[in-house]
Structure 1
Amino acid sequence: MANGSTTTGTATGTATGTATATATSDVAAPDTPRRRPALSPSRAGDFKQCPLLYRFRAVDKLPETPTKAQVRGTLVHSVLERLFALPRTGRTPGAARELLRPTWSQLAEESPEWTELFTDPASEEELTEWFTSAEKLLDSYFAMEDPRTLDPEACELHVETELNSGVLLRGYIDRLDVAPTGEIRVVDYKTGAAPREIGEAKAMFQMKFYAVVLWRLRGVVPRQLKLLYLSDGQALAYTPDEKELARFERTLEAIWEAILRAGRTGDFRPSPSKLCGWCSHQQHCPSFGGTPPEYPGWPEPDPGEESALDRAD
């Protein structure tokens, strides 16, 4: 679907219909309203996978050390966002590579702990290998799309809407394309390889979440949900319909009700699975002989916010 829009949005959203409510600062002054708890695709996915994982991330906010691959994913996402801010003719593979180091410098300044992932932060050789792997992901992107033929309506677009049931949905969309005819395409970059069945279901859950938000914001069902897997150059495209999104909306409402019930009692139970091998919190999990921290109560102001690492997953 070619895109004829000439408006490029940002994470704060310059596109129309990016939000139905105005969010306030996470750190609330005495007379400033706190942000309402909201459901994001990552946190909804966490609860669906394992309620205790949701608690560790959204309630206890236990620290997690990211991997080099996760941080590289954030870097590549940021480079692609900056690439689309350039004029069409400037969106070349060379320009993308030139953006890598300046973008990393900014990310490292904002999250200096990420530099600790390297055994020797001063080692140019180690960083060079890491940048080379990021360059390969960008080259893979250019093999899949020609960004000079696209003018996204928005990149890293913050979206937020409240369902009729009162559930507040919030998230960030990697890229939103809108055709001259009004058709919407949601594009998400994945820096890993195309997943197997479990990973594919998780990725599509995220995309359907965005589709519901856009449907409620704009009254239009997205024409296409597209995942670009940069590690192996594979693409996954899906066309949802209104009935399917209505069912998925009810699923999100049910997840939120389950979260609220658990939040009132503190009963966030573990749900062991093959995915436990990737969990950073096994030492706190009863399924692995651990003990969770004392339950601090339902969090305020907001357990639904996603991090940059979430969005780059």
Structure 2
Amino acid sequence: MTDTAPTEATGDSTRRRPALSPSRAGDFKQCPLLYRFRVVDRLPETPTRAQVRGTVVHSALERLFALPVSERDPAHARELLTPGWEELLTQQPELGTLFDGPDDPELTSWLESASTLLDSYFELEDPRRLEPEACELKVETELDTGVLLRGFIDRVDVAPTGEIRLVDYKTGAAPREVGEAKALFQMKFYALVLWRTRGELPRQLLLMYLADKQSLAYTPDEAELRRFERTLNAIWQAILRAGRSGDFRPNPSKLCNYCDHKPLCPAHGGTPPPYPGWPEPDAGSESVLDRTD
């Protein structure tokens, strides 16, 4: 699943406008070459069981709030996991290679681990006391500089007083300082888009880490989001410069050990494929897996 961008005409054809999403902005910040591999070359990656589990848990939590209030309990939430997995498998049949068929005992234990994460969610809050305005909300806005921002927010809560809270579920454990900064980058992105769209500054950004049952709450202010907007503009201009020149340089780090594209990276003795030029159509869409952790 990918998001859809506004289109603009070019001659006899129509193309999507390139956009910036939190995942793709994070990729470029982490390693410009990783951004190129994912956005320009569109090289395939093998999702992990943990990534797919996160997607299935997110789907169950979205469906949970579509149930009547009286049914928003752990038992009903667990019943949503298998349908969520089957739907994802229909959308992306290649994920079936993660297990040896529906009778694989490892699939059973994997779904049980997802149930454990859902149980943890209920220890953090009671969904029967909430009525979100939206779940898995697609947001999009264009900044004054012309940069198109796009993303998906796990949940938007609006209090009777009108105050807005943005909620993001994380199926991993609460991160250390670097990981926390990455998570807050994502949430500030959503806060900025919502602020520019509605003219209302979110009162709170809430990250819920299900693996260790911890929550991180953050209150943004207007000056901070204005600085963040300048940061996103700078990132986008750097992306465009790299796109014109083809100079997407690697940024080696410990994260290289988890990168599917390490064999192609010159920092590790590899050779990237020939640069195909700046991509058209979309240069910033997010997949379902991007919207988990």
* TM-score scaled by length of structure 2: 0.96
Counterpart CA distance in 2 for 1:178 and 1:259 is: 35
What is the match of residue 74 of structure 1?
A: 55
Which amino acid letter does the alignment assign opposite residue 136 of structure 1? Answer: T
What is the match of residue 91 of structure 1?
A: 72
User: What runs of 5+ residues in structure 1 fail to find an aligned partner?
Assistant: 1-10, 13-20
Shift of 1:278: 1.4
Alignment counterpart, residue 193 of structure 2, candidates 206, 209, 213: 213
Counterpart CA distance in 2 for 1:172 and 1:32 is: 28
1:238 equivalent in alignment to 2:214: no
Which contiguous aligned blocks of 4+ residues in structure 1 show a shift greater than 4 angstroms? Answer: none
Counterpart CA distance in 1 for 2:13 and 2:161 is: 42
Counterpart CA distance in 1 for 2:185 and 2:208 is: 15
Counterpart CA distance in 2 for 1:153 and 1:33 is: 34
User: What runs of 5+ residues in structure 2 fail to find an aligned partner?
Assistant: none
Shift of 1:123: 2.9
What is the match of residue 111 of structure 2?
A: 131
Alignment counterpart, residue 261 of structure 1, candidates 229, 234, 241: 241
Shift of 1:302: 0.6
What is the match of residue 84 of structure 2?
A: 103
What is the match of residue 23 of structure 1?
A: 6
What is the match of residue 149 of structure 2?
A: 169
Counterpart CA distance in 1 for 2:187 and 2:181 is: 10
Counterpart CA distance in 2 for 1:253 and 1:49 is: 16
What is the match of residue 114 of structure 1?
A: 95
Shift of 1:126: 1.5
Counterpart CA distance in 1 for 2:78 and 2:166 is: 25
Counterpart CA distance in 1 for 2:12 and 2:68 is: 43
Which amino acid letter does the alignment assign opposite residue 88 of structure 1? Answer: V
* TM-score scaled by length of structure 1: 0.90
1:142 equivalent in alignment to 2:122: yes
Alignment counterpart, residue 50 of structure 1, candidates 24, 31, 40: 31
Which amino acid letter does the alignment assign opposite residue 206 of structure 1? Answer: Q
What is the match of residue 44 of structure 2?
A: 63
Counterpart CA distance in 1 for 2:257 and 2:122 is: 33
Question: Is the 2:5–2:16 Cα contact (8 Å) retained in structure 1?
Answer: no
Shift of 1:303: 1.1
Equivalent position SS for 2:14: coil
Counterpart CA distance in 1 for 2:116 and 2:6 is: 37
* Distance verdict in 2 for CA 1:82–1:284, change over 3 Å: same
Question: Is the 2:5–2:17 Cα contact (8 Å) retained in structure 1?
Answer: no
Shift of 1:24: 5.1
Q: Deviations over 1:220-258 (max 9, x none)?
A: 111000100000001011000000000000000000000
Shift of 1:276: 1.3
Counterpart CA distance in 2 for 1:39 and 1:166 is: 11
Counterpart CA distance in 2 for 1:64 and 1:237 is: 32
Equivalent position SS for 1:33: strand
1:252 equivalent in alignment to 2:235: no
Which amino acid letter does the alignment assign opposite residue 218 of structure 2? Answer: Y
Shift of 1:32: 6.2
Alignment counterpart, residue 294 of structure 1, candidates 267, 274, 277: 274
Which amino acid letter does the alignment assign opposite residue 15 of structure 2? Answer: R
Alignment counterpart, residue 228 of structure 1, candidates 203, 208, 212: 208
Shift of 1:105: 1.0
Counterpart CA distance in 1 for 2:69 and 2:13 is: 42
The percent identity for this pair of structures is: 72
Counterpart CA distance in 2 for 1:23 and 1:88 is: 36
1:189 equivalent in alignment to 2:172: no
What is the match of residue 3 of structure 1?
A: none
Question: Is the 2:7–2:17 Cα contact (8 Å) retained in structure 1?
Answer: no
